[in-house]
Structure 1
Amino acid sequence: MALFAFYAVCMVGAALLSVMLLRRYADPFRVSLLVLLVAGYSWLTSLSVVALVPVDAFTTLLGTENHIHAITILWKISYWSTQALTWAIIPIIQGYVLSGSFTVSGRLKSAARRLWRFWIIVGVLAIAGILFAAAWGKLHIDTLPQLIVLLSNTYGLVAVVALLGYGLVEVPRVMWRRSFPESRLTWHLHRVGRAAVRLEDASKELERCLAVVIITSQQVPRSDPELRKIADSLVSYADTHSPVPLAALAASKVDVEALEENDLDYATNAAGLARLRGRVKLAIAEFVGSRGDYLSFVNKAMELESICKSRQLGVYLPPDGQSTWVAMAEWQYKCTVRPYVQRFSALFLAGLSITIVWCEATIGSGRHPDLSPFSLAIHKHAILDSPWSAQLLIALPLAYCCTAMYFSLFKLGSLGAYHMVPRATWSWSLLLNGSLLARFAAPLAFNYLHVIRMTGGQRGSRHMVFVELMAMEDVPLLGAGFNTWFPLIMVAYVAILTFDVCGACAARICNSSLVKFLLPARLRLNGERPEEESIGKGQRCIAAEHDAVRSGGELGEGTELFGMLKHVAGRAAGAGRQQRRYTGGPGGTSSAAGVSGSYRREIELGEGGGSGGSSLKSDGVASGAGGSNVRQPLFGGSHIRSDYPASGSNGGADAADELFAGVGGRSPTPKRNGRNPWD
């Protein structure tokens, strides 16, 4: 019972961690229950290797045959679940989520069309592997599943060596850098500047998409009830899921000439509306993620700013004004004690990383002599027959390896397709993260067994159940020898990462602009090198956010971007800060509601008047704007906010009713009831 008690405790911990990650990262309003379940299960099966490896290894060291059947079943469930999730289930759901079709069958067909290239490539590689094994005379019907496992595991091992090596270097390095608040403040200002640029682009795209939805919906005739129903469904989707509900924009006027030609290239048929719905999905997801990133970075930069001021003045009072002893003790810990704790942790993690790299480099020696400190400690404790201590000793280094590898995945995905944003990550990114974690769980576990020298026969010449499942010994070229010599590459790889050899060489032989073009900052080996332009933009953003908060606004309103202001200005165009537009960051050029040039062609939606429908027409240059490089809003009025009350006093209510006629009503906040669970 003690043997599986450790497994049960680890699985409960893994389940709780999966739930905590979902609560932290998943968008609570835009991620369906099905996606949450699939992503959570993929994370759980990935983390289950930390619980299964110690149980399997300990029973093998004891030489007992009592629990082999149970362990075999658990390994098969875990391994084949990760394979099914990676190659079939998650890709299909991802394609379904991306599809803009209005029917379940249409979304499934769209998902299949997106995946056919992927499955063809996988099939070609599988056929090539089968032909290779047949040429060597190793292909048999009973060994075909083992060959499939091998082909999958070989690719996984190559990726694991790269990701694990990067994480073993970067985890201690990042921990060490965090111990210097002043330099971290500079880095976070850089991140704020980059996030502001991305948020501005996302805001523009969201504004364009909502404008196109309104215009396209107006063009669909009510004489065609089927098409009108589809158009109303599109409007309802955009209104429910968008941070800026369409009802808040219904009384505005859309500046058609400000749109690009391809923005209006959507046919008024089912296929065209489906394409538009897919674009709206992506625009909403990008805006919500960019907004979450920006607010997170601004919060962190403001906290570091306060910490640096407290350290400089020697006065450790919380910036929020709390005077309780708990708040004061916590703030003093952040300012004085935490940097030393982080430095000690960085040194400890660096030693652990060096030990793991040494164990990887000496895999070829096996146990004669045994040069792995982890192997020596584990085999010694197994002799003492102490289940809990031995399994804990096996699990802890594996847990650190998982942390290092998953850290690499998350960091290299920063600002990428599978970037995770607290409470703002949409379904596709959650599923992709789950797929990647599930994909590399088994190869990482198999590599770790080489680190602790558990791949050979132990007492009674019995192999571990997981080693037999991998069955790497019976395949030519890519058999057991591949897992012995290939990890040696990690030694050179880690040295290159540690001393930034590639960065130094690239800086010598290439000019800096070429290096930036060929190698994005997030993929550079020393990626935490702030750029002056981003730092300056970040400083302006922080100053604007401080000003917005002091003026009674909320964090994020300093950008004055579409979708960021949370209140409606009932003033004439050009009056008040709500009318200004963000053009390249706080402190940059802003405009009121006018632009230079002739009157612009506009389409008025509805007949309601009121301040919400104020026109943007102007013959002159707006005061305060240079008259150049000023991006004008597509909508009249000041409907640039994140929330919209269920009922308002603006005169555009009739226009809103007209726009949403036949849609079935709207809700100011997204609701799960009545939604397709696959959305």
Structure 2
Amino acid sequence: MIAVTANSSPVGSEIFSLISLLVISLAVLLILRHYLPLRTTPAYLLVPIFFALGLPASIVLLVPIDLASNAREEDEATRGIWLPDRVLLVSWRICYWLTFALTWFILPILAEYADAGYRDPKGRILFSLRANAKYQVMLLGSAIAMGIYVTVSYGFDTNSLKSVVMALAYVWGLVLAIYLMGHGLVAIPRRLFRNASLSGRLRRIQSSAAKVHEKMEDAIQNLEDLEAQVVELSQRKTGSAKNFKDWIDELAEDSHLQESRPRTLSRRLSNPRITVPNVVTERYLADLSRQLDRARHTRARYVEEWDQILYDAVETQVILDSAASKRVEFGQASPSASIFDRYTILTPYTRYLYKYWFMPYMTMFLGFFFSLASFCIVWSEIIKPVNENVSIIAITVVHHPESDRGAIGFAGQVIASFWIIYMCAAALTSLTEVKVWRGRALVKRNTHGESAMWYAMQVAKLTAPLSFNFVTFLHPSIYESTVFYKFLGQLIKLSDIGTWFDALFPMFILVPVCATLFNLYGKVKSCIGYGGVIDDEDEENVTGYGTGTWREGRDLIERELNGHSSLGRLPGNADRHSVPNNPNNRTAPSISVPPSERARSLGQSSSSTAASRPRSEPQQRPAKEPEDENFFEGFAHRVKNTFDTVQTPKWLQNVGDGMKRPKWMGGNENDGESSRREGGFTSLFGGQPEGRVRL
């Protein structure tokens, strides 16, 4: 099946292609199963997403086959895997036009349909059409403008209209693909280099823990507020809410608001934000349903991220601690763990060798390998308009360019497939890192339907432009004879604008590459005020150590693993961990830092805390509960607390040291200092040394 005999029948290549398509389909099903529950996800989501992922993957297979199918007829055995031109043309038509329809029409409408919130299909489809109206009008306007230009320049015919449609889709896809690929070509090797250091990996996990924990609390709070609105609606028995009783009861059944749910301190002190209108309408219930659906998936997303942080922190700390014992033991896996976690053939010592020595060096090697691959892609993009013969990608794919035999054999096909896969992986990896996609995310077994549609649409949108961009790395005498170029390339280069755009725009890959390589994004965020805040004493601490971020994350992880988290056990997550403080039901070691580092950090934190306290800090006593105070007591407490927290300016601290009160007013020699220590300015409002307020 791999090598074709020297005859005119492509049976072996056809069998190989069919087997490859089956493998691609199986891989797509496994991806869908990883991110979506197949049994409960409706078919109108699964089928389009399956084709939106499977068709681009088949394009990655078609490009090398098309390149190798142009060998001379007298030496067909050197072609590798090849197919007749008619079969390739039909395959390209099916893949491209189905992908085009999914990208620009079917997936956008179905994504909004899944996110509509209405109960009946009519309301959902009307909402989806209204949401996509502006998007479709923009596409139609661009197509009309480009069509007028092509018609005036080259006359009106069917090829001109088809050229307008395909060129516009290619231009927009290539613009997005070049930016995302440029970011990913730097991000992938950088991530590998960083993960090669175990201590650095643990520090980054701890640094991200505080932000993820805060977002998880906000997501839970938002969901509780929305569920409180549902509870308030379900208590209404008359008025406009009576017309939507079934809908409200359905929302109430899906809600799980419990008074016994663990709540953090901030959420215990804050009341749910309930904003229920006096007149309940269908549009309001649809918006509430949509917000509830998004809030549940957002909560599941951050709970999943927090669980992953706990698991990674425990595993990394265990590997670090194994430097002394030369053994890596994670404990007993839970029944819900994967088969790779439940069964292993490695002993604790061999696992130590694998985790502590082999994996870091292998990760570093892969970092160097992908760095070289990224450099080859960037170099080929830049040198392509100048001279295709010095393109590194062309040299690796075309092994005998001046031979009378076929230009590309089986080895060249395999290398070409790896190049296209890496280019697509670099672009698609950036989709999950660049946080500008309206909060969309891929969550294991719990991805929102609209988010899954959106990511599938981006995959279908980026693959064809990246594949044609790869083909143009080769010499024109090679790629201009392919069916892919005759089907798509001639229409893209029909006008001078398309020719110059396809030749020069890929050079702009240097912009995202340099922006990611030199951290221009962080510098711009710092300039506009969104960068990290560093204390004055830590201005020279460029690593961020001592600023509290990673220490706060370390403390949060320790409290969670020791069972003292303020969130407690979250409902609906019991099947994830059998023990709330032990991810994956493994023995959880204490996450710590070296004693010298801990002592130094504690010394810095205590000194900074003491320096930030006011000079005169009154003694605190337990105050009354807010519900036991009347208006005057509450007002007096607020006034007293306001003046207690005000720090005296430095130029005013020593003003009254030389002034004494008369004896008839109860003054003495140390009156100034004692008055500031005992009551200070708050004594004018009845403040006492004990901290009480008197009116």
Query: In 2, distance between residues paired with 1:418 and 1:361?
Result: 33
Does structure 1 residue 326 correspond to structure 2 residue 346?
yes
Residues 540 and 512 (structure 1), Cα distance of their counterparts in 2 relative to 1, 3 Å cut: farther
Query: In 2, distance between residues paired with 1:29 and 1:291?
Result: 22
Q: What residue identity is the alignment partner of 2:328?
A: L
Q: SS at 1:264's partner residue?
A: coil
The residue correspondences of 1:520-599 to structure 2 (distance < 5 A) are: 532-548=547-563, 559-560=567-568, 563=571, 596-598=625-627
Q: What residue identity is the alignment partner of 2:557?
A: I
Query: 1:611 maps to which residue?
Result: none
Residues 319 and 532 (structure 1), Cα distance of their counterparts in 2 relative to 1, 3 Å cut: farther
Q: What residue identity is the alignment partner of 2:376?
A: T
Does structure 1 residue 12 correspond to structure 2 residue 28?
no
| Identical-residue share of aligned pairs (%) | 20
Query: 1:301 maps to which residue?
Result: 313
Q: What residue identity is the alignment partner of 2:317?
A: E
Deviation by residue 1:430-454 (Cα, 9 ceiling, x = unmatched): 111000010111110110001233x
Q: What residue identity is the alignment partner of 1:597?
A: P
Deviation by residue 1:360-412 (Cα, 9 ceiling, x = unmatched): 11212455xx1123323433358665853332132121111111111122222
Query: In 1, distance between residues paired with 2:207 and 2:311?
Result: 13
Query: In 2, distance between residues paired with 1:489 and 1:310?
Result: 47
The answer to whether the Cα contact below 8 Å between 2:115 and 2:450 also exists between their aligned partners in 1 is yes
Query: In 2, distance between residues paired with 1:469 and 1:500?
Result: 37
Does structure 1 residue 158 correspond to structure 2 residue 168?
no
Q: What residue identity is the alignment partner of 1:337?
A: F
The answer to whether the Cα contact below 8 Å between 2:28 and 2:54 also exists between their aligned partners in 1 is yes
Query: In 2, distance between residues paired with 1:180 and 1:257?
Result: 42
Residues 224 and 175 (structure 1), Cα distance of their counterparts in 2 relative to 1, 3 Å cut: closer
Query: In 2, distance between residues paired with 1:387 and 1:220?
Result: 75
Query: 1:53 maps to which residue?
Result: 63
The answer to whether the Cα contact below 8 Å between 2:67 and 2:478 also exists between their aligned partners in 1 is no
Query: In 2, distance between residues paired with 1:560 and 1:159?
Result: 42
Query: 1:673 maps to which residue?
Result: none
Q: What residue identity is the alignment partner of 2:567?
A: T
The answer to whether the Cα contact below 8 Å between 1:24 and 1:422 also exists between their aligned partners in 2 is yes
The answer to whether the Cα contact below 8 Å between 1:472 and 1:478 also exists between their aligned partners in 2 is no
Query: In 1, distance between residues paired with 2:127 and 2:51?
Result: 25
Does structure 1 residue 513 correspond to structure 2 residue 542?
no
Q: Which has the higher contact order (CA 8 A, sep 6+)?
A: 1
Aligned counterpart in structure 2 of residue 21 of structure 1, from 9, 31, 47: 31
Query: In 2, distance between residues paired with 1:452 and 1:530?
Result: 48
Query: In 1, distance between residues paired with 2:326 and 2:394?
Result: 50
Q: What residue identity is the alignment partner of 1:72?
A: L
Residues 164 and 119 (structure 1), Cα distance of their counterparts in 2 relative to 1, 3 Å cut: same
Shift of 1:502: 6.3
Query: 1:411 maps to which residue?
Result: 433
Q: What residue identity is the alignment partner of 1:25?
A: Y
Shift of 1:183: 0.6
Query: In 2, distance between residues paired with 1:481 and 1:423?
Result: 44
Q: SS at 1:301's partner residue?
A: helix
Shift of 1:5: 3.9
Shift of 1:302: 1.7
Deviation by residue 1:404-427 (Cα, 9 ceiling, x = unmatched): 111122222488533212223221
Query: In 1, distance between residues paired with 2:83 and 2:568?
Result: 67
Does structure 1 residue 35 correspond to structure 2 residue 51?
no
The answer to whether the Cα contact below 8 Å between 1:138 and 1:475 also exists between their aligned partners in 2 is no
Residues 436 and 534 (structure 1), Cα distance of their counterparts in 2 relative to 1, 3 Å cut: farther
Query: In 2, distance between residues paired with 1:232 and 1:502?
Result: 47
The residue correspondences of 1:113-152 to structure 2 (distance < 5 A) are: 113-152=130-169
The residue correspondences of 1:375-390 to structure 2 (distance < 5 A) are: 375-380=394-399, 387-390=409-412
Aligned counterpart in structure 1 of residue 462 of structure 2, from 428, 432, 440: 440
Query: In 1, distance between residues paired with 2:316 and 2:31?
Result: 25
Range with greater deviation from structure 2 (226-235 or 373-382):
373-382
Shift of 1:516: 6.2
Query: 2:215 maps to which residue?
Result: 198
Query: In 2, distance between residues paired with 1:543 and 1:255?
Result: 23
Query: 2:488 maps to which residue?
Result: 469
Query: 2:273 maps to which residue?
Result: 260
Query: 2:507 maps to which residue?
Result: 488
The answer to whether the Cα contact below 8 Å between 1:126 and 1:148 also exists between their aligned partners in 2 is yes
Residues 449 and 30 (structure 1), Cα distance of their counterparts in 2 relative to 1, 3 Å cut: same
Query: 1:363 maps to which residue?
Result: 384
Deviation by residue 1:514-547 (Cα, 9 ceiling, x = unmatched): 5569xxxxxxxxxx98994542332122111211
Q: SS at 2:441's partner residue?
A: coil
Q: What residue identity is the alignment partner of 2:229?
A: V
Query: 1:80 maps to which residue?
Result: 97
Q: Quote the RMSD (CA, aligned, Å).
A: 3.7
Query: 1:671 maps to which residue?
Result: none
The answer to whether the Cα contact below 8 Å between 1:7 and 1:55 also exists between their aligned partners in 2 is no
Range with greater deviation from structure 2 (89-98 or 407-416):
407-416
Q: What residue identity is the alignment partner of 2:452?
A: L
Which ranges of structure 1 fall in alignment gaps of 5 or more residues? 518-527, 552-556, 568-593, 601-618, 621-626, 629-679
Aligned counterpart in structure 1 of residue 298 of structure 2, from 280, 286, 296: 286
Residues 297 and 139 (structure 1), Cα distance of their counterparts in 2 relative to 1, 3 Å cut: farther
The residue correspondences of 1:528-677 to structure 2 (distance < 5 A) are: 532-548=547-563, 559-560=567-568, 563=571, 596-598=625-627
Deviation by residue 1:8-42 (Cα, 9 ceiling, x = unmatched): 34323322322222222225686434323322221
Q: What residue identity is the alignment partner of 1:40?
A: F
Residues 68 and 516 (structure 1), Cα distance of their counterparts in 2 relative to 1, 3 Å cut: farther
Q: SS at 1:364's partner residue?
A: coil
Query: 2:356 maps to which residue?
Result: 335
The answer to whether the Cα contact below 8 Å between 2:177 and 2:465 also exists between their aligned partners in 1 is yes
Deviation by residue 1:619-677 (Cα, 9 ceiling, x = unmatched): 99xxxxxx99xxxxxxxxxxxxxxxxxxxxxxxxxxxxxxxxxxxxxxxxxxxxxxxxx
Q: What residue identity is the alignment partner of 1:452?
A: L
The alignment's TM-score, normalised by the length of structure 2, stands at: 0.70
Bigger-Rg structure (1/2):
2
Query: 2:656 maps to which residue?
Result: none
Shift of 1:559: 2.7
Q: SS at 2:280's partner residue?
A: coil
Residues 416 and 111 (structure 1), Cα distance of their counterparts in 2 relative to 1, 3 Å cut: closer
